[in-house]
Amino acid sequence: MKSPTHMCPVCGYPSLKETPRSSEGGGSYEICPSCHFEFGVTDDDKGVDYNAYREEWITKGMPWSSTTRKEPKNWVPGSQLANLALRATLSRVKGRPPRIMLDAVA
C-alpha cells in the first residue's frame, strides 16, 4: 500500500513523506527536495518563516534543490505554488496557515 504524502507549505511540493509538523508542533526534520526547507530547522533554528523563504526561493527562480533526488518529469514549480494557493484558500493548513504572497509570482 502506498504511504500517504503531504504537501510542502512553502513551495507546494506534493510528495513530502511526513507531515511538516506534528500535532504537538515539532518539526519533521524532512528537507523538501523542491525548495530545501527543513522543517524544525530552517524555521525553529534559523528563524525563517514560510513566506520569507518562499519569496527568496521564487526570487532565485524556483530551482529544484535536492542534489540526489531528481525533479519529477515535467515538473512546473509555478503549478506547485498554484496548487498550494488553492489549498490555502480552501482550508487552513494545520499548524501554520500560509498566507500566500502571490505578488512575487506575477
Partner 1 sequence: MTRQTIQRLLRFIMSRLSHILPILALFWGSIVTHAVELIGKPVVTTTANSATLEWRTDVACGTRAQFGTDPAQLTQKAEGAVTAQHRLDLTDLAPACTYHYSVGSARTHLATGSFSTTAAKASLMQKIISAITPGTAPAATGPQQAPPAGVTWGHPDSLQDHFDRHGRDFQSRNPEHYAAQAWELRQRAKTENLPMKLDDSDGTLRVWEPKTRAFAAYNRNGTTKTLFRPENSTYWQRQPGRTIQASELSQKMPKER
Interacting residues toward partner 1 by CB under 8 A? 17-19, 22-26, 28-31, 33, 36, 38, 40-41, 44-47, 66-69
Residue with Cβ nearer partner 1 (17 or 101): 17
- Tell me which long-range contacts 99-104 makes (C-beta under 8 A, separation of at least 24): 99/51, 100/54, 101/51, 101/54, 101/55, 104/54, 104/55, 104/58, 104/59
**Shortest Cβ 106–partner 1 spacing (Å):** 30
**Shortest Cβ 77–partner 1 spacing (Å):** 18
**Shortest Cβ 7–partner 1 spacing (Å):** 17
Task: Determine contact, residues 11/86, Cβ cutoff 8 Å.
Answer: no
